[in-house]
Amino acid sequence: MSDPTPETPRKTGDLIEAFIENSLLASRWILVVFYLGLAISLGVYAISFIAKSAKVATKIFVLNDNEIILAMLGLIDACLVASLMVMVMLSGYENFVSRLDKASNNELGWLGKIDTGSLKVKIASAIVAISSIHLLQVFLNAPQYEDSKIMWSTLIHLAFVASAIALAIVDRIALTAKPAKKN
C-alpha cells in the first residue's frame, strides 16, 4: 500500500533557499574563533596583571600615597577590562552561537538572561568605569598633563557616560515595547 499523502518534490528554489539558510546558521560557529581568541588574550592579560602586581609589591615601601593609589587604580582597571572580556565571551557565545551547558555554569546565574541590548548597556557601563579610572589617574597626575589633555580626557569620558545613558534608555524602551512572554 502506498502512503496516502505523497510528499511533494521540493523545487530547486526551495533547495537553494534551504542551503543558504543552513549555511548562514552554521556560519555563527565562526564566532567561536573570536571567543577563543579573547580567552587566549585574557590568559596573556592575566600574566601581564601578575607581572604588574609583582612590580607594585616590590616597590610598595618606596612609593608615596599618590603613586600607590595610581598603581592600585591600574590594577583595578585591568580587572575591569578582564571582566568585560569574560562578559563579552560568555554572553556572546550564549546569544549568538549556542547555549552553554547549564550543568557547568550553574554558578553563573546571569547567563541566558543577558540579551544583546542589555549586553550593550553592561559593556557601556564597564567602559564608563574604565574611563573613570583613567580620568582619575589623569587628575591625580594633573601637573604632568597639559590642560588640553585633561579637557579632552574629561570630554571623552562624558561622551562615554552620555552613550551609556542613551543605550540604557533605548534598552528600557525596547523592553517596555516587547509584549510579555506567556508561560
C-alpha cell belonging to residue 39: 580567552
* pLDDT of 121 higher than 90: no
Please give the biggest Cα pair distance in the chain: 93
pLDDT of residue 7: 56
pLDDT per position as a tens digit, 164-180: 999 888 888 887 876 65
| Integer Cα distance of 161 and 155 in angstroms | 10
* All structural domains of the chain with their residue ranges: 13-177
pLDDT per position as a tens digit, 129-143: 889 988 988 888 888
Distances (CA, A) of 108 to 24, 75, 78, 101, 156: 29, 24, 21, 11, 33
Mean pLDDT for 112-138 is 83
Q: Choose between 29 and 5: higher pLDDT.
A: 29
C-alpha cell belonging to residue 61: 615601601
Mean pLDDT for 7-13 is 69
